[in-house]
Chains A and B, each alone.
Chain A
Amino acid sequence: DTAVSQTPKYLVTQMGNDKSIKCEQNLGHDTMYWYKQDSKKFLKIMFSYNNKELIINETVPNRFSPKSPDKAHLNLHINSLELGDSAVYFCASSQADPGNSRGYTFGSGTRLTVV
């Protein structure tokens, strides 16, 4: 009955590899997001999708490509991984207007380590 689930929880990979992180929400929310949290705990938005349509793309390198096959899923594919990509990546979802709901519901994060 997990609301926002993302897999894997941990991902260790070598530089140059390509990897994907998957996210699913069962809350019926219209909007999904990817946030990146760095080692200083700073959270920065990367992408948002509303009903499968890209809404926000925050100057993220084009090695990062989100894909939303339906409004309950938002996956993140990363090509040619670099050391600086190491971080915790959070998926989140919300109603179309988070101001009329309880903000975002976050997944538990994927800790990506690039070696």
Chain B
Amino acid sequence: GESVGLHLPTLSVQEGDNSIINCAYSNSASDYFIWYKQESGKGPQFIIDIRSNMDKRQGQRVTVLLNKTVKHLSLQIAATQPGDSAVYFCAENMRAAGKSTFGDGTTLTVKP
């Protein structure tokens, strides 16, 4: 069977390594998904989004993968840098609901 990454509340990586942050969502009717980054003392900031009719989207150093079969999202960060240390949230959205539902965050720590 297909292996799906588990959500981890914390993730520690070495600078320069790739990071993978996983998220499970609950509503199969959600039509788009957003990853946010929250640095200490700040509000969450948009990183990248993906529509439900896509399975992959790439940004600058980040890639989001969507597996609707198992309701799973992942955020891959290439060549992780100390500035990437933050809490990362996935959010599922349904236009009809008019709100974002946030998943449990993952605290990423990048070791120099």
Interface residues of A (CB under 8 A from B): 4, 31, 33, 35, 40-45, 48, 50, 55-56, 90, 92, 97-99, 102-109
Q: Considering the complex, which residues of chain B in the window 74-100 have a beta carbon less than 8 Å from any beta carbon of chain A?
A: 87, 89, 91, 93, 95, 98-100
Q: Which residues of B contact A105 (CB under 8 A)?
A: 46
CB distance from A68 to the nearest CB of B (A): 15
> Is A106 in contact with B45, judged by CB distance below 8 angstroms?
yes
Contact of B34 among A31, A40, A44, A103 (CB under 8 A): A103
Would you call the interface of chain A mostly helix, strand, loop, or mixed? Answer: strand
Known: A45-B100, A103-B36, A103-B93. 19 other contacts (CB 8 A): A4-B43, A35-B102, A41-B38, A41-B105, A42-B105, A43-B89, A43-B102, A43-B105, A48-B98, A90-B44, A97-B95, A98-B93, A99-B31, A99-B51, A103-B46, A103-B100, A104-B46, A106-B44, A108-B41
Number of residues from B at the complex interface, CB < 8 A = 26
Dominant SS among interface residues on chain B: strand
Contacting residues, chain A, for B107 (C-beta < 8 A): 41
